[in-house]
């Protein structure tokens, strides 16, 4: 079973870090095994309601001094449609997507910056103020 390192970032600023193996974009609930939970602990149940985005990360700590690039490398062909997302909290993400539709509750985005700590993220549409194709 695939285990994904994730950071659940809620619109109220709450962050939960851990592993999930049952997140599906069409489900309202998923489970997270917190990163520092004792061995054998039951996963906690999380809901999409109130979620800003679910970040699938390379490392839980990341690099707080790194500033993610918001443009594409012109020498690299991007897979998917180029997209810009502005969240309600002011965060801007630039990347590619294969599934954005305004009527859906969310969509996956792969960052434009290959050095980003985020491998991909599931953006909750309700947490955005602007989504536009580039």
Dist CA 121 CA 127 (whole Å): 13
pLDDT in tens, 35-65: 988 888 999 999 999 999 999 999 998 888 9
What pLDDT, on a 0 to 100 scale, did the predictor assign at position 2? 64
Dist CA 52 CA 12 (whole Å): 8
Taking all residues of the chain, what is their mean pLDDT, rounded to a whole number?
Answer: 94
pLDDT in tens, 102-133: 999 999 999 999 999 999 999 999 999 999 99
Banded model confidence at residue 5, pLDDT cuts 50, 70, 90: very high
Q: In angstroms, how far is CA 20 from the centroid of its own chain?
A: 13
Banded model confidence at residue 3, pLDDT cuts 50, 70, 90: confident
Nearest one of 78, 14, 100 to 49, comparing CA atoms: 14
- Please report, to the nearest 10 degrees, the dihedral formed by the alpha carbons of residues 23, 24, 29, 33 taken in order: 0
Query: 88 lies in which domain range?
Result: 4-133
What pLDDT, on a 0 to 100 scale, did the predictor assign at position 62? 87
> How many structural domains compose the chain?
1
Which tokens sit at 117?
């700590």
What pLDDT, on a 0 to 100 scale, did the predictor assign at position 100? 93
| Sheet of 118-124, strand order | 44-47, 29-34, 15-20, 4-10, 51-57, 118-124, 106-111, 92-97, 81-87, 128-133
Residue 84 has pLDDT above 70, yes or no: yes
Whole-prediction pTM: 0.92
What pLDDT, on a 0 to 100 scale, did the predictor assign at position 40? 86
């Amino acid at each position: 079973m695939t285990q994904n390192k994730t950071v659940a970032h809620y619109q109220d600023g709450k962050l939960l870090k851990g592993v999930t193996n049952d997140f599906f974009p069409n489900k309202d609930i998923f489970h997270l095994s917190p990163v520092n939970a004792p061995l054998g602990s039951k996963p906690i149940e999380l809901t999409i309601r109130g979620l800003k985005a679910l970040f699938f990360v390379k490392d839980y700590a990341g690099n707080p001094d790194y500033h993610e690039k918001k443009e594409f490398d012109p020498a690299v062909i991007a897979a998917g449609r180029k997209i810009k997302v502005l969240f309600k909290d002011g965060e801007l993400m630039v990347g590619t997507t294969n599934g954005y539709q305004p009527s859906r509750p969310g969509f996956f985005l792969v960052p434009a910056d290959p050095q980003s700590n985020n491998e991909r993220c599931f953006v909750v549409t309700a947490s955005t103020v602007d989504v536009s194709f580039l």
